[in-house]
Structure 1
C-alpha cells in the first residue's frame, strides 16, 4: 500500500510539473519583450524598459555606475517582510 501511495504522488508531481510548463508556454507571448530579440542585449536597449516600469508597482533607483559610467539600477517590487535579491550580471 505505501508503494501505491508513492506511485500516485510521483504521477501527480510529474503531471503538475508538465501542466506548469504548458501554462508558462501559453503565457510567454503575454510577457515577452519585443525589443529584446537576442539573449545578449545592450544597456541602451534595456534602459528604456527599466525607466518605463510603472511607479505604482516598481521603485527604480540608480544604485551606482559601472566602470564605464553606465547606470546600475536597483528595482524594488512588493512590500512584504521577506526580502529577495535577484542579481543579473549582463
Structure 2
C-alpha cells in the first residue's frame, strides 16, 4: 500500500485516456489552466490599491454629489 511504481501510473493514465479521450482531457486541461490564470489575476488585482476607485467607469452615474446632502427622516417630520 505504499507508493506506486511508474508502471502503475502508466496503466492508470492509459485507463483515464481510454475513458475520457484525449480531446476531453485537452479541454479539461485548458479550462483548468484558464481558471488558475483567472484566480492569479484576481488575487493580483485585489492586492494592489486601486487609484481609480473614486471615479466611476464611463457610462455609469455617480451618486457622490447626492451623498453630501443631509437626509430628512420622514417619520420624524410627521410626528412633530
> TM-score, structure 1 length as denominator?
0.35
> TM-score, structure 2 length as denominator?
0.39
Higher helix share: 2
**Which entry has the higher C-alpha Rg, 1 or 2?**
2
| Structure with more relative contact order (C-alpha pairs < 8 Å, separation 6 or more) | 1
